């Protein structure tokens, strides 16, 4: 009878262990999938913002206030200047502001629309289209999902909304007019006259292209059109569309230029290293202080032999009191998550075909 009870207990323990292992594998896989979505939706945007900030800091563009009091830049008469007249692939051309997307919304615009440009530089200019201020169609592209989703809210644009382009010396204020949805092979929307292909251009237009639908595999392109309203000089201040006037009559730029800590960091490698260093130091302190009380209790028979459980095993094998063991495990998990964001997910998105197709990821140094 005793032997039968022992065998029954052993069988139950094995069964529980198998169920626990399967559950842990499934939960871990679900957590990794959730983290991948977080990487795609958040961290790629942080890295893109970091690169954009570096691009802005790398050029010697004057501030609109000229170091003094900020004023409203008045619309200029005459033909708009074209700036830049040319640009190399990946070169910073402009900074873009769309107040409808929020006061703090700002993206850089570089020459080219390859994934290397769009993934890290915000917006890209179609090299075959016109330049800012030029007669014809100034066409740009950007992601609608992931990588900071610069054009994620194009469906919120309303007629008359401002699309402001700031080059080195000039402001070009375009006014949103309408949108259309086309198939990816419709190149007419980035031609000189997208509203009447084949005819000579008569307007100075802007066209923004992005994916449609937003959250599933894109089958079409969402095309937003606008027309140049006026141009102004950066030396004269900021356009009224980008300014607030306070109770004292002082002009304030709506974008305060603040960036997050993660944007300034741009890499999670320091988080990985810092977590592991903190873990190592705390591990040694706890080992010298209290050693391994959980394992000792099992050896001495004060606790029953545990079932097979990876996370419980990991927790038991940390030194020190229970609270410190939790801290040690959390430090390991933090290092693991940061490593996935920094190296694991980029590798998966670049090497696993269906993830590469889903994320539009390219490895960019």
Of 2-11, 122-131, 246-255, which one has max mean pLDDT?
122-131
**Is the pLDDT confidence value at 225 over 80?**
yes
Q: What are 22-69's pLDDT values in tens digits?
A: 988 999 999 999 999 999 989 999 999 999 999 999 999 988 866 668
Q: What is the pLDDT of residues 164-173, one digit of tens each?
A: 999 999 999 9
CB 99 within 8 A of CB 241: yes
Question: What is the rounded distance in angstroms from the CA atom of residue 97 to the CA atom of residue 18?
Answer: 56
Half-sphere exposure of 78 (CA within 13 A, CB side): 5
Token pair 């004292």 is found at 248
Listed in sequence order, the residues at least 6 apart from 196 whose beta carbon sits closer than 8 Å to its beta carbon are: none
Residue 1 has pLDDT above 60, yes or no: no
Residue at token pair 């307007």 = 203
Residue 50 annotated in active site:
no
Secondary structure (H, E, C), 138-156: EEEEECCCCCCCCCCCHHH
Half-sphere exposure of 138 toward its Cβ, with a 13 Å CA cutoff? 31
Confidence of residue 307 (pLDDT cuts 50, 70, 90): low
Q: Which residue has the higher pLDDT, 53 or 310?
A: 53
CB 216 within 8 A of CB 223: no
The predicted structure's pLDDT at residue 199:
93
Give pLDDT, residue 310.
81
pLDDT recorded at residue 47:
92
Q: What percent of the chain has pLDDT over 90?
A: 63
**Structural domain spans, the chain:** 15-49+263-359, 61-262
Give dist(CA 64, CA 332) in Å, integer. 47
Judging by beta carbons within 10 Å of its beta carbon (0-12, 13-18, 19+), is residue 220 exposed, middle or buried? middle
pLDDT at 322: 86
For the chain, the first-to-last Cα distance in angstroms comes to 68
What is the three-class DSSP state of 86?
coil
Mean pLDDT value across residues 88-97 = 96
The CA–CA distances, whole Å, from 94 to 1, 47, 324 equal 84, 19, 51
Confidence at residue 84, expressed as pLDDT on a 0 to 100 scale: 94
Which position among 211, 244, 286, 317 bears the catalytic label? 211
Say how far apart CA 48 and CA 298 lie, in whole Å. 50
Tell me if 179 sits within 8 A of 225, measured CB to CB.
Answer: yes
pLDDT at 93 over 50: yes
Q: What is the mean pLDDT of residues 90-95?
A: 96
Active site residue 143: yes
The alpha-helical segments, DSSP class H, found in the chain are 2-38, 44-57, 115-121, 261-265, 269-289, 293-299, 310-316, 322-339, 345-351, 353-359
Pair 206, 97: CB distance under 8 Å: no
Report d(CA 289, CA 170) in Å as an integer. Answer: 66
DSSP per residue, 111-130: E--SHHHHHHHSEEE-TTSP
Instruction: Report the CATH fold assignment for 61-262.
Output: Sortase; Chain: A; (2.40.260)
Largest CA distance in the chain: 103
pLDDT tens for each residue of 250-296: 888 888 778 888 888 888 999 999 999 999 999 999 888 878 776 77
Is the backbone peptide bond immediately before 172 cis, with ω within 30 degrees of 0? no
Per annotation, catalytic residue among 50, 121, 125, 143: 143
Residues 229, 160: Cα–Cα separation, whole Å: 10
* pLDDT > 70: percent of the chain: 91
**pTM > 0.95:** no
Mean pLDDT for the stretch of residues 130-151: 94
Q: What is the per-residue pLDDT across 313-357, written as a single tens digit (0 to 9) for each?
A: 887 888 888 889 899 999 999 999 999 999 999 999 888 888 877
**Would you call 233 helix, strand, or coil by DSSP?**
strand
For residue 5, what are the contacts with CB-CB under 8 A and spacing of at least 6?
none
Q: Give the single-character DSSP code of 101.
A: G
12 vs 271: CA distance, rounded Å: 42
Give pLDDT, residue 2: 47
Residue 249 to residue 256: CA distance in whole angstroms: 18
Q: Quick check: 286 and 258 in contact, CB under 8 A?
A: no
Average pLDDT over all residues of the chain: 88
Confidence of residue 306 (pLDDT cuts 50, 70, 90): low
Work out the average pLDDT over 196-225: 92
Cα gap 43→341, rounded to integer Å: 7
């Amino acid at each position: 009878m005793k032997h039968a009870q022992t065998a029954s207990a052993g069988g139950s323990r094995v069964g529980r262990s198998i169920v626990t292992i399967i559950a842990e594998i499934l939960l871990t896989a679900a957590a990794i999938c959730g983290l991948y979505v977080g990487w795609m939706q958040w961290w790629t945007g942080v890295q893109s913002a970091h690169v954009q900030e570096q691009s802005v800091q790398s050029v010697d563009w004057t501030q609109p206030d000229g170091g003094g009091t900020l004023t409203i830049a008045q619309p200029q008469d005459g033909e708009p200047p074209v700036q830049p007249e040319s640009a190399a692939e990946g070169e910073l051309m402009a900074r873009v502001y769309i107040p409808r997307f929020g006061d703090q919304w700002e993206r850089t615009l570089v020459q080219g629309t390859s994934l290397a440009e769009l993934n890290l530089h915000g917006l890209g200019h179609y090299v075959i289209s016109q330049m800012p201020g030029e007669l014809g169609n100034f066409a740009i592209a950007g992601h609608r999902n992931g990588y900071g989703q610069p054009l994620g809210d194009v469906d919120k644009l309303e007629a008359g909304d401002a699309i402001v382009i700031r080059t080195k010396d000039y402001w070009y204020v375009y006014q949103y007019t309408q949108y259309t949805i086309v198939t990816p092979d419709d190149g007419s929307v980035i031609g000189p006259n997208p509203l009447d292909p084949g005819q000579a251009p008569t307007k100075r237009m802007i066209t923004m292209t992005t994916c449609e639908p937003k959250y599933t595999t894109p089958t079409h392109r969402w095309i937003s059109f606008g027309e140049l309203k006026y141009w102004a000089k950066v030396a004269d201040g900021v356009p009224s569309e980008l300014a607030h006037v306070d109770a004292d009559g002082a002009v304030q730029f709506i974008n305060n230029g603040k960036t997050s800590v993660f944007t300034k960091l741009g890499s999670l490698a320091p988080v990985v290293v810092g977590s592991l260093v903190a873990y190592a130091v705390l591990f040694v302190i706890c080992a010298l202080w209290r050693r391994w009380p959980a394992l000792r209790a099992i050896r001495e028979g004060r606790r029953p032999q545990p079932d097979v459980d990876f996370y419980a095993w990991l927790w038991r094998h940390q030194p020190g009191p229970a609270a410190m063991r939790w801290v040690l495990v959390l430090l390991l998990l933090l290092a693991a998550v940061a490593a996935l964001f920094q190296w694991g997910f980029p590798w998966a998105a670049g090497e696993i075909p269906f993830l590469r197709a889903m994320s539009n990821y390219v490895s960019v140094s």
